[in-house]
Amino acid sequence: MADSLLQVEDLSYTYPDGTHALQGINLSLSAGEKVGLVGPNGSGKSTLLLCLAGLVFGRGRITFAGEPLTPQRVREVRGRIGLVFQSADDQLFMPSLAEDLAFGPTNLGLPADLVRQRVQRVADRMGLSHMLERPPHHLSMGQRRNAAVAGVLVMQPELLLMDEPASNLDPRSRRRLIETLSSLPMTLLIASHDLAMVAGLCSRAVLIDQGRVVADGPTETILHDGPLMERHGLEAWHGARP
């Protein structure tokens, strides 16, 4: 695919205890595409995101921006691939929210003025401007979730991977997040049980179960297929988009 940003070929991953988390995953993401990753608990969604971010390495081949994603290349692509973890506390560790948001771009060597501009712009977009001086552990769970998302957006990655990004968000914050993600030009892969969010954001859905891709196609086709969803531990979605 000429405009492919990411190619995954026959990817498998086994945990040290022998659990086969991924088994022969094949996937391609085009530049600018927004894709929902759905599946039951334990299906391998989070493990797949970790592999795509270069945090763990399995068997098979991942190609990002035309080059293999290898342990030797991780430092080169850091900043170009962003991952929002399922738990916001895995990403927030600095004394203030402003320092957390500045951490990534600062470590990429960006000038201090540019870092401040990026932090302020993303904080404004995510509704966090009034809490930049607060310690992250003083924020609510929903605010920490927004902060974790902001900490990745400030890096301006080409590929954004998100693990349950809407968890712990109140309706207003969830709506703001959906609007923000809809406006982004980057390639987006969202692992989520929030099927309304997936339907509202993503034109394509990938269903995985037991570490394998079992369906890949237009979002509404996948999510509306009751027998397919039921076979893989999910319920069909027929609601309104957010």
Measure the CA–CA gap between 221 and 224, rounded to whole angstroms. Answer: 6
Average pLDDT of the chain to the nearest whole number: 91
Q: What is residue 14's predicted lDDT score, i.e. its pLDDT?
A: 96
Range(s) of the chain covered by CATH 3.40.50.300: 1-80+159-242
Measure the CA–CA gap between 32 and 4, rounded to whole angstroms. Answer: 9
Q: What is residue 240's predicted lDDT score, i.e. its pLDDT?
A: 66
Measure the CA–CA gap between 76 and 1, rounded to whole angstroms. Answer: 23
34-38 and 187-191 beta bridge pairing: parallel
11-39 pLDDT, tens digit per residue, is 999 999 999 999 999 999 999 999 999 99
Quick one: what percent of the chain has pLDDT higher than 70? 98
Share in percent of the chain as helix, strand, coil (round to 5)? 40, 25, 35
2 or 23: which leads in pLDDT: 23
What are all long-range contacts of 113-118, with beta carbons under 8 Å and residues at least 24 apart?
A: 118/154, 118/156
Average pLDDT over residues 91-120: 91
User: Is the pLDDT score of 184 beyond 50?
Assistant: yes
135-168 pLDDT, tens digit per residue, is 988 888 888 888 888 999 999 999 999 999 888 7
Measure the CA–CA gap between 162 and 201, rounded to whole angstroms. Answer: 13
Residue 32 carries which DSSP code? T
Longest dimension (CA), the chain: 54
User: Angle, to 10 degrees, between the axis of helix 97-107 and the axis of helix 112-125?
Assistant: 130
Q: What is the pTM of this model?
A: 0.91
User: Is the pLDDT score of 2 beyond 60?
Assistant: no
User: Is the pLDDT score of 201 beyond 60?
Assistant: yes
187-191 and 20-30 beta bridge pairing: unpaired
Quick one: what percent of the chain has pLDDT higher than 90? 69
Average pLDDT over residues 40-66: 95
Q: What is residue 241's predicted lDDT score, i.e. its pLDDT?
A: 64
- As its CATH architecture, domain 1-80+159-242 has 3-Layer(aba) Sandwich (3.40)
Q: Each residue of 75-99: b (16+ CB within 10 Å) or e? A: eebbbebbbbbbebeebbeeeebbb
Q: What is residue 242's predicted lDDT score, i.e. its pLDDT?
A: 63
Q: What is residue 195's predicted lDDT score, i.e. its pLDDT?
A: 94
Indicate the pLDDT class of residue 1, thresholds 50, 70 and 90: very low
Instruction: List the one residue out of 12, 20, 104, 112 whose CA is nearest residue 62.
Output: 12
